[in-house]
Amino acid sequence: MKLGFSKAEEDFRAECATWLNGQMAGEFSDIKGISTLTEKAERRKEWEQQLAAHKWSCIGWPTEWGGRGASLAEQVIFAEEYARAGVPGRVNHIGIELAGPTILTFGTDAQKKRFLPDIAAGKTVFCQGFSEPNAGSDLASVRTKGRLENGQWIVNGQKIWTSLAHISDWIFVIARSEEGTKGPRGLTFLMMPIDQPGIEIRGIKQINGDAEFNETFFTDATCAEDSLIGAPGEGWKIAMGLLAFERGVSTLGQQMGFRNELDEIIAAAKANGSANDPLIRQRLAKAEIGLNLMRYGALRMLSNTDHSKVDGAALTYKIQWATWRRNLGELSMDVLGQIGETTDNPDYEWDTLPNLFLYSRADTIYGGTNQIQRNLIAERALGMPREPRGDT
C-alpha cells in the first residue's frame, strides 16, 4: 500500500493547488464553499467548462478524449486538492466519474467519439436512471421497460432519486428489455436524451431545502437503436461495471471534503467552549481516528492491482464512510447547540454544519442502504449463504 508521494508528485500537487486556489480567489470566487448540489447550477456549468479548457476536467482519461492520462497518484492528488481548495462538487460528476468511464470501458468507438469529448468539455451533463419506487437498493427489481421497435428503443416506466436530472442533458437508464425475465436477467443499459416529450421530471424537496433529487417518468420515450451500451440483456453486467467506478479515486477527494467539515466542527467547538466538554472531545477524537482509518482503507483499495475482483476494502467502504458521516452530522449539531437549529433565511437555506446534519441523514440510504451493504459484505466477502430473493 502506497502512503506517500514522490517529489514529482508533490510538485504536481503544488501545480494543482496553485491553479485551483487561484480560480477560487479570482474568477470563480462566487462558487467557493457551496455545500449543496443545486446552488448556482448554471454558474457551475461554466466552471465545468473552465476545468475542461485547462485540461483539469477528467485528468485520468486518455489525452485523446480530453484527459491528461494522469497516473493514479496524480488523480488522487488532484481530488484531494480540489476539495481542499473549497471547490464545490462537480455538477457533472455522474458524467465524469460514471458515464464517461463506462463508455470508455464498454462503449463502441462511435459512442466514444459521440459522447466523451462533450462530457470532458462540460457541454454534456449526465444523470443516472437506476432506482425506482419499489427498487431502490434492489437494482435488479427494476420494472421500467424498453423495447426495440423500428430502429428505436421505446421506454416506459419511472425512476426516482435521479440526482440533478433537471439540469442534465442525458440520462443512462436500466430497462427490462426481455418480457417475463426477473432479477438481473433481461436488462439493457440505455443512454437517452432528456429533452424530449416522453420524459417528465418532477423535483423532490429535501429536508435541507435543496431539490437535488427528482422523479423521472418515461412515456414512450425514445433513443436510437445504437444508444445501448453492450448488447441487449447485458445491462446488469454494464451496471455492475459502472458501480465499481464509485469506489475509485473520488473517494480520496470525498475524504478531503470530510476533512473540511471536521475542521469546521473543531473550530466551532473551540469558539463556543463546547470543546471543554470531555464527551465532545472524545467524539471529536473518534471522528479524527475514523477519518484516518478511511484514508488508509481507500489507499489500500486503490492499491489493489487486480481490478477484476472487488476486495474487502471496497465492499466495506460505503457503510464505513456513510455511518461515520451520519455520526459527524449529529456531532456538528451537538457542538452548535440551539443556534444550529434555526436559520434567518426565509428560503430555508442552512449554513454548512446544519446542512451537513440534514443531508447526512441520507448517506446511509442512497447508493445502497446500510442493510444492503451488510448483505453484500456477508455474501460476497464472507461467503455466507445468499439471502432468499424473489428473482430465482
Catalytic positions are 246
**Pairwise CA distance, residues 308 & 241, whole Å:** 10
CA 118 to CA 122: how far, in whole Å? 6
Q: Long-range contact list for 345-353, CB < 8 A, 24+ apart?
A: 347/209, 348/209, 349/209, 350/208, 350/209, 352/33, 352/35, 352/261, 352/264, 353/261, 353/264, 353/265, 353/268
Is-contact 176 146, C-beta < 8 A? yes
- Bridge partners, 229 (sequence order): 189
Is the Cβ–Cβ distance between 39 and 211 less than 8 Å?
no
Q: Which three cell numbers, joined as nine digits, stand for 49?
A: 467548462
For 187, list phi and psi in degrees, rounded to 5. Answer: -100, 145
Torsion sign, CA atoms 18, 298, 240, 198 = negative
